[in-house]
Chain A
């Protein structure tokens, strides 16, 4: 179906079902229960899942296929965000022009940055992209925000003000980002028994876009172009002596992944019309790297998993405080309870970044293939045990 083979069609359909039903799946606990804090089925967080999923899918097209490790992809995310807000300021709150412009502008940025950075590979490339991202951050944070020429509104962040032109704005339209009149914040609350589910317009728009992105990524992975990108990762020397020019291949991959990042940035602005420079910082670039390797670089589903995983735990960890911990460990004797809380304290709340850094190291050290590979290993191990039990001496299937 859709020009995909059965296996890929199946993964696309599974992802589609998960994404459509996410508001239900992610809200397994009744709204009033103590476990409700582990629910993830509210619009803000689900939007983040799919938007950062898009970001990671795009990053994976570059890093997973060609092996070029960019440390500057957050710059494209930021550029996308700013472009989208500018469309809001100039044209009005309809999200379509904003999202389109964010893809176009970030594509142009990626072309320029990629053209320079891809003159080198390996470490050099990573350093160059990092430098470019830091430069973009400086530009956005202060340089392009002065009284004479204010493109980014610096520290405050770019947002829509009452005196902005908004040429196509009509009074009948919502005064917030909308899709032809349908507000991004419109949410239908569905109460079934003790459960409450929220169906949000912004989420479903982002989810739809993500499905499209995921589908395109599958097509790219299975195309001759995707094969060439994997060949770049495997052996550039052989590429060159096979009559293939590696530079345009890597540049194309870079621009495509930059456009994905810009799209993600545009969507971030579409659901919350405020663009700040901190989206471009190196920590944001590092985060998408982590999402991709945590899920499994070079796999189709990995980056989506990684993005969901990180954003979920970021949310949970930031919410937990000492008070919550004490309530969890209340069953322990007092002294031990305090001690356990003391041990965990540095990793929660504002300590999320510490946890993230440790997670980063653990994944790189022990699980370079990410969650997908981990899952396969466990799968093989279970299958291996079953086989040993049934005493058939067949070889383990090679991991896909």
Chain B
């Protein structure tokens, strides 16, 4: 059963055909990696999934419903959460407040004029946020300003914020870009744990082959805006076409 169906998606920027005829099917409860050399259209594809860009042609179905033409917040409310390449968190707020916001969004929807009750009285949200901080090992940093966190902690916080929404699909955009090896390995472990313990589908765009092959159980290779091949990791490793498109360029 596939949760995300991308069919014949094309996107053009002026003279550049960024995506053409992209087909992609992400199965439920898998970790699906989308890889490809620079400029292959990975980020464009991701932006088409979350509502930041609208493709010129084709369809994107999430759980049987089209996401096209919907605003990012609507798509998120459908069950797709996104982790950014550089962590996007609320830098001026405390870690705890950061964690509470997605919990409110999950409970109250896209907008609620909840102006009179105090935040401290929202026990359900407090408990949920607290539990998620525990899970992310960040409980002792709850009163820190999020901007003061280390890069690795910001990443953990962002992932925790996405998870606290109980998303069906978690999209990660190069989650380990610019990280030291130790941090990268921590992130891999965290993501593994998440995918093992939760009822969640993960789609990950990644450059780092180490990350891809430690996590993914399905891989799509994009090259020049079209999928080259979609297969299991073992087969991708040996695929000559992939080597040519990918490694051939870098080697």
Instruction: Evaluate contact between B93 and A242: CB separation under 8 angstroms.
Output: no
Across the interface, which residues of B come within 8 angstroms of A226, CB to CB? 115, 119
A219 CB–B CB distance under 8 Å: yes
Across the interface, which residues of A come within 8 angstroms of B108, CB to CB? 224
A220 CB–B CB distance under 8 Å: yes
Contacts from A to B (Cβ < 8 Å): 3-5, 219-220, 222-228, 230-231, 233-235, 237-246, 248-249, 252, 256
Across the interface, which residues of A come within 8 angstroms of B97, CB to CB? 227, 230-231
Q: Using CB atoms, name the residue of chain A closest to B106.
A: A243
A-B contact pairs, 11 of them (CB 8 A): A5-B118, A219-B115, A223-B118, A227-B119, A231-B101, A235-B89, A238-B88, A238-B89, A241-B76, A242-B102, A243-B74
Complex Cα gap A393–B88 (Å): 36
Instruction: Evaluate contact between B91 and A235: CB separation under 8 angstroms.
Output: yes
Complex Cα gap A322–B91 (Å): 51
Q: Which of A220, A233, A248 contacts B111 (CB 8 A)?
A: A248
Complex Cα gap A230–B74 (Å): 21
Instruction: Evaluate contact between A225 and B81: CB separation under 8 angstroms.
Output: no
Complex Cα gap A237–B77 (Å): 15
Across the interface, which residues of A come within 8 angstroms of B120, CB to CB? 5, 222
B251 CB–A CB distance under 8 Å: no
Instruction: Evaluate contact between B81 and A241: CB separation under 8 angstroms.
Output: yes
B137 CB–A CB distance under 8 Å: no
Expressed in whole angstroms, the minimum distance between the Cβ of A34 and any Cβ of chain B is 49
Q: Using CB atoms, name the residue of chain A closest to B146.
A: A234
Interface residues of B in 108-162 (CB under 8 A from A): 108-122, 125, 161
- We find that the number of chain B residues with CB closer than 8 angstroms to chain A is 41
Q: Using CB atoms, name the residue of chain A closest to B72.
A: A240
Expressed in whole angstroms, the minimum distance between the Cβ of B182 and any Cβ of chain A is 26
Instruction: Evaluate contact between A243 and B110: CB separation under 8 angstroms.
Output: yes
B53 CB–A CB distance under 8 Å: no
B82 CB–A CB distance under 8 Å: yes
B202 CB–A CB distance under 8 Å: no
Complex Cα gap A235–B115 (Å): 20
B71 CB–A CB distance under 8 Å: yes
Complex Cα gap A199–B91 (Å): 48
Instruction: Evaluate contact between A235 and B90: CB separation under 8 angstroms.
Output: yes
Instruction: Evaluate contact between B71 and A240: CB separation under 8 angstroms.
Output: yes
Instruction: Evaluate contact between A230 and B114: CB separation under 8 angstroms.
Output: no
Instruction: Evaluate contact between B111 and A230: CB separation under 8 angstroms.
Output: no
Using known A-B contacts A241-B76, A243-B165, A245-B71, determine if residue A225 contacts B115 with beta carbons closer than 8 Å: yes
Besides A228-B104, A241-B73, 9 more A-B contacts (Cβ < 8 Å) are: A219-B115, A220-B115, A225-B115, A235-B90, A240-B76, A241-B88, A242-B165, A244-B73, A245-B73
Across the interface, which residues of B come within 8 angstroms of A230, CB to CB? 90, 92-93, 97
Complex Cα gap A239–B100 (Å): 12
Complex Cα gap A4–B117 (Å): 10
Across the interface, which residues of A come within 8 angstroms of B165, CB to CB? 242-243
Across the interface, which residues of B come within 8 angstroms of A220, CB to CB? 115-116
Using known A-B contacts A231-B101, A249-B111, determine if residue A224 contacts B117 with beta carbons closer than 8 Å: yes
Complex Cα gap A248–B74 (Å): 14
Instruction: Evaluate contact between B111 and A245: CB separation under 8 angstroms.
Output: yes
Complex Cα gap A222–B116 (Å): 8
Q: Which of A224, A231, A242 has the most CB of B within 10 A?
A: A242
